[in-house]
Amino acid sequence: MRNDIERVLIDEVVIEKRLDAMALEIERDFPSGTLVVIILLKGALVFAADLLRRVPRSLEIECINVASYHGGLESSGTVNFLDRDFPEVSGRHVLLLDDILDTGRTLHAVSARLIEEGATAVHTAVLLAKDKQRAQEVSADYVGFEIRDEFVVGYGLDYKGKYRNLPYVGVLKDSAIT
Ligand code: XMP
């Protein structure tokens, strides 16, 4: 798996330091009381596990399955909600976690759905944000790292379902892309 990586973009130690700082910001910014955290599967799984263990407050953790990439290198342009049920968020303050902000369609669609479902406020946190013109005007409240517009894997991000368990964010070799 590691042989397929052309270069490491953000290594494990750097990610861990940044998560310490993000957790402090989140802890400082949110009003007291239990916060509902929604993790977008599967990409935000690793980021969420490492971030949330650093946030010393009462959290209710929910997951939503959405798909927009369908395993390849390009967003399909539509965001599909894959679950039959949706978490109960009416009257709640929600923190939405995703792995990466790319076209903006996912955060836009899920934030809109959360508001539709009655959430009082929705804040968003992403590990990565691509520096690009987005299809949807959306920004995240908490961003781990800004990266240039290239396809990355690792630390939760996949190519065709693989590489999510790499402990760093990296760029694939051309030979690994089929
Ligand atoms: P949008 O375009 O909706 O993208 O902001 C969010 C979702 O698209 C996936 N994505 C990527 N996955 N490497 C990946 O493995 C990438 O460089 C990449 N860019 C976008 C990801 O699932 C994210 O939640």
Report CA(128)–ligand 1 centroid distance (Å).
Answer: 9
* Grouped pLDDT means (10 residues each) for the chain, 178 residues: 94 98 94 91 97 95 87 75 93 96 95 96 97 88 97 97 97 94
pLDDT at 69: 65
35 vs 56: CA distance, rounded Å: 11
Q: What pTM does this model have?
A: 0.94
- Catalytic one of 11, 83, 102, 174: 102
DSSP state of 153: B
Rounded to the nearest whole angstrom, what is the distance from the C-alpha of residue 74 to the centroid of ligand 1? 8
Question: Can you give the pLDDT at residue 33?
Answer: 86
pLDDT at 100 (0 to 100)? 97
Buried b (16+ CB within 10 A) or exposed e, 165-178: ebebbbbbeeebee
